[in-house]
A and B are shown apart, each in its own frame.
Chain A
Amino acid sequence: MTESTYNLLVLVFPVLVPLTLAAITAVLWRAPAAQRAVSIIGLGVIVGVSGLLTMAVLQYDILAVEFGSWAVPFGISFVADRLAVALVMITAILALCVGIFSLRDMRQTHIRGGFYPLFFGMITGVNGAFLTGDIFNLYVWFEVMLITSLGLLVIGRTKAQIDGAIKYALLNLFGTVLFLMAVGLLYGATGTLAFADLARILPTLEPTPGLVATAILFLCAFGIKAGVFPLFFWLPASYHTAPFTISAIFAGLLTKVGVYAVFRVFTLLFAVEASGIREIVAVVAALTMVTGVFGAAVQWNIRRILSFHIISQIGYMLMGLAVATPLAIAGAIFYIVHHIIVKANLFLLAGAIRHASGTDDLKKSGGLLKSHPWLAVLFVIPALSLAGLPPLSGFWAKFLVVDASFKGDMAWLAAAALFTGLLTLYSMTKIWMEAFWKEPGIERSQPRKIPFAMTAPIAVLGAITLTIGFYAEPFVQFAEQASITLLEPDVYIAAIFGAEAQVGEATALRSEP
């Protein structure tokens, strides 16, 4: 096997390995113990292959593979640039951590309900969405994600889960149908589906009403998935009902795939500068931040607080797209990576808090600082990072997007972000005061010990947060380099078609900056 073969295969593994694991765990349907064993080994393998891909991308900047040896645009390709590979790597780490956490969190009935096949299916869909270079293929991975997440959401079959799943299902189904329509329209306008080809053809087209509307449909469809204002309703209606393991992986990954898709499509295919899209994105970003954090500020249930914070944080990421300078895009990329780790970790912590105190209702909890001082330390790390306090990862993320907003003449957006930060800190403080400081609550006066399988993943994710915070330079540089492929479609196109291929001359939706 030549070196390039190896690189190309490595590009396929992050999707193929979890899909194979899903198939194997389905074959082992009647043997839950075997499923568990396969899963833990498999999660390690996923981390390994993602690491290999990361190293390959760090070496070659951008990698592409064509499935079935059919050249793009006739076949489907996978493309890994720095953004994609960072997300694949984070997904793998997160999957491993959550997988370990699940050993103590998931019950037999969950395993029998297909937890492992669905879990791996979700990883497949997420990685497929990050890596694919084809818009219709992206739709397929979105659907894989949607159905597996639905299956995971209702895995406990409680009333709340079923009610939440109905809202989640119907609103997201609407979103994916919009996505499908947008793909069809885009195909009708361009005759092609590959990102690289679209990036070549779209600039040569006139911005007809249909094409502008297609762009807007993509924005809406991804906006629903990402949970932006005012399309986020499904998220706070459902996320808090799932088991903690599942909430954690949802919170970390699902909305971020929507954000990723917005970034991919609105840098490579459509330019945000055109047609008032930039203004729309800016206003949406601000309102997403503020309404999200408003929701969080009034909640008293840890999981509900965290669910609303997902929305609020998505607003920060969209800020980057609205400002659209290299610094802003880099900031948004940094933000996405940081937030995946932190938010998933907070949900795991909510699980640990629930395990220890018997409740995730803040009014009933308490006393954990005395009984679980280390849990308190582990909570403080992601909580303060989420609030953007220095010198944790969230501080750099916020620094980048807020600084970019000031520099990009969007001071009002920066102000909204800072205001949101204050309320974020407030709600994190609330959890601290009620669950840790207060006297032991009424639910369980003798807090329970937390098993190692729960604390270990929390500690690992906390360590990553600390590393990004204290040793930010390589991550900032990485984000800045990652923003290049987003800002310069030529790089992406050249990776597929070779260096001589260029973006079309005529300006359509992509106006000159």
Chain B
Amino acid sequence: MTFVYAATIAILAGAGIYMILAQNVVRIVMGVALLAASANVLIFLSGRLGSVSPPIIPEGTDVLAQTAANPLPQALVLTAIVIGFALTAFGVALVYKAYRSLGTLDASAMHDAEDMGSPFTPSQAKQ
């Protein structure tokens, strides 16, 4: 399965990058979300897979069974998922705000920041 998961990670990352290269900022944020998902699976895979039993110590025993899944990557991924969600959610809010105040979702039409105090003639709308 390692190859399958590695391919999954790679395709998630590739698709994420492809979306990041789009013009529409909403798609870019979606691309970041895909890329983050790819990173999460990557960490999960890094702890090596194979076990199907959750890392929970059953009643009556004191230690986790050898057959249980590796809990550390799970904890890391959990943290990473939450952080990734918080940031992409903020990204969505930001993009929405950008649409409301800049009137566009087209990344190439957003140039308020770099026109501010620019020494060059504001011809940046063209590509």
Contact = CB atoms under 8 A, between A and B. Distances in A.
Given A181-B39, A184-B42, A300-B119, A170 B101 contact: no
Contact of A161 (B36, B79, B113): B113
A188 B49 CA distance: 11
Contact of B95 (A160, A166, A176, A185): A166
Contacts of B38: 181
Summarize A's interface: helix, strand, loop or mixed.
helix
Contacts of B79: 136, 140
A166 B98 contact: yes
A282 B29 CA distance: 34
B82 to A, nearest CB: 10
B117 to A, nearest CB: 3
A32 B73 CA distance: 41
Contact of B39 (A147, A165, A177): A177
Nearest to B114: A237
B117 A169 contact: no
B83 A360 contact: no
Nearest to B43: A184
Contact of B113 (A147, A164, A177, A298): A164
B69 interface: no
A163 B43 contact: no
A303 interface: yes
A157 B91 CA distance: 14
A298 B118 CA distance: 9
Contacts of B113: 160-161, 163-164, 167, 237-238, 240-241
B47 interface: yes
Interface in A176-208: 176-177, 180-181, 183-185, 187-188
B29 A301 contact: no
Contacts of B98: 162-163, 166
Contact of B101 (A151, A157, A300, A304): A157
Given A150-B90, A300-B119, A162 B32 contact: no
A173 B80 CA distance: 13
A166 B90 contact: no
Given A162-B94, A170-B32, A174-B35, A183 B101 contact: no
A20 interface: no
Nearest to A304: B117
B97 A299 contact: no
Contacts of B73: 184, 187
Interface residues on A, range: 35 or more
B83 A163 contact: no
Interface in A95-153: 136, 139-140, 143, 146-147, 150-151
Contacts of A300: 117, 119
A304 B117 CA distance: 7
B29 A298 contact: no
Interface in A252-309: 298-301, 303-304
A169 B32 CA distance: 10
B59 interface: no
Given A143-B83, A188-B45, A160 B94 contact: no
A197 B116 CA distance: 48
A143 B82 CA distance: 11
Contact of B102 (A162, A170, A177): A162
Contacts of A159: 101-102, 112
Interface in B50-109: 72-73, 76, 79-80, 83-84, 86-88, 90-91, 94-95, 97-98, 101-102, 107
Contact of A157 (B20, B45, B97): B97
Contact of A180 (B28, B43, B86, B117): B43
B32 A160 contact: no
A173 B42 contact: no
A185 B110 contact: no
Contact of A166 (B25, B39, B43, B46): B25
A360 B117 CA distance: 8
A304 B115 CA distance: 11
A184 B117 contact: no
A154 interface: yes
Nearest to A238: B113
Interface in B5-47: 20, 25, 28-29, 32, 35-36, 38-39, 42-43, 45-47
A331 to B, nearest CB: 33
A185 B76 CA distance: 13
A187 B46 CA distance: 7
B117 A170 contact: no
Contacts of B20: 170, 174
- List the 10 closest pairs (A to B, CB-CB), nearest first: A301-B117, A188-B46, A184-B43, A164-B113, A163-B113, A163-B112, A159-B112, A180-B39, A160-B116, A160-B112
15 contacts: A143-B87, A151-B90, A162-B101, A163-B98, A166-B110, A173-B32, A173-B36, A176-B87, A177-B84, A180-B43, A183-B43, A184-B39, A184-B45, A187-B47, A300-B119
Given A169-B91, A170-B20, A170-B29, 13 more contacts: A150-B90, A159-B112, A161-B113, A163-B98, A163-B114, A174-B20, A177-B35, A177-B84, A180-B36, A181-B42, A188-B45, A236-B114, A301-B117
